[in-house]
Structure 1
Amino acid sequence: MNKWVFNVEESHVGLRADVFVAQLLTETTRSQIKKLFDAKQVHIEGEPIKASYAVRFDDELTVYSNDEAVKIDPVNLNLEIVYEDDDVAVVYKPQGMVVHPAVSYKEVTLVHGLKYQIQTLSDINGTLRPGIVHRIDKDTSGLLLVAKTNFAHESLVTQLQDKTVRRVYEAICLNPIVEDSGTISTPVGRDEINRLKMAVTNDGKLAVTHFKVLKRYKKHNYIECVLETGRTHQIRVHMQYIGHPVLGDPLYGNKPVYGTTGQFLHAKTLGFIHPRTGKYLEFSHESPEIFRQTLEKLENNEL
């Protein structure tokens, strides 16, 4: 029997324990998840919990199961490390790359590359997510904070909770936007019909996105979004909610989906207070080539 340890991150707070575990053991059926809880094989601090338990930030769930273990070997992915010191690193995640492995996801991830290029990574989030403080979607490109020490990890998590980490995205979205800027403040939670999606729901967690139009085109907009909170799929859900879905988004965008690389969303700027020095650091990275090529097509009225 294998033991898996999963830490609850900001975007998962409030989920039912069975829903949380199901997101991690993605190839496990609902009935199998139910059996894990019925057999008291899901614990917090050594005590079994109920499937209905609402997970809290930094809860550590231990799941005992017979699923095959995931072995994370270092892989040379030639990751671009924008900044690194003894405590933290800022890494560029390319579009199409998953951040960390899961029990059922055994392909190469960013974590495999981190283990090759960075000698020490924090272990607060367990063996599947060493060093991972926050995540961005597979088909979203951009900058990620990586903790090399547990000291740094705890500080960065606190900054995320206190909303002092600066996270700026750029996106291409559909349909003309009248306002030059605005703020979307709604609760976001799991979609009741499609559990792979998030949605604006009455019982969701508050999500706040500030947006600004950088340039308007005939049917599209080039925008900047600043995250005040960090809910799963937040920008994608919020832009769909106000009628301006992100171009190329297979879950929340228009059908048929434009392109084959996923949503045109890029985590451009990342700013934080260094855990040890107390100095504010900020880094930016240009969008991927496909993003820039699409903007050029819009400039030339080719899209």
Structure 2
Amino acid sequence: MQLAETHIAENLETAIRFQEYAVGIFKTIPTKSGIKKAIKKELIFIDGNLATTSKHISGGEKIELFESENSSSFERLKLDLEVLFEDDFLAIIYKPAGILVSGNKFVTITNALSQNLKKAIKQTL
């Protein structure tokens, strides 16, 4: 295995589950399901220990993503969306005509959101 990316966790007011925090921190894994798959394949380490979906992040942790010898590269969608408003809970975008919101196609609003929105810090209750 070879080290692909490293991330130092931001300081958080409230600790959150790793799988929630990790969405969008790595260029090659933009989705929650991708993070879960990488954890299952033992490709993510937190402070030198294997990551788990139940691990909580509070800030300052060193998160490392390794790539396996037979890993395929994830194709990232490059679609610039016009963001009209955004805060930690809501985003309003201009949806171009002809672009699907979600579905089985690659070019969808859902796939483009991670590149166009700031990462919101989700808090668990």
- TM-score normalised by structure 1 residue count: 0.22
Higher relative contact order (CA 8 A, sep 6+): 2
Higher share in strand: 1
Instruction: Pick the structure with greater CA Rg.
Output: 1
- TM-score normalised by structure 2 residue count: 0.47
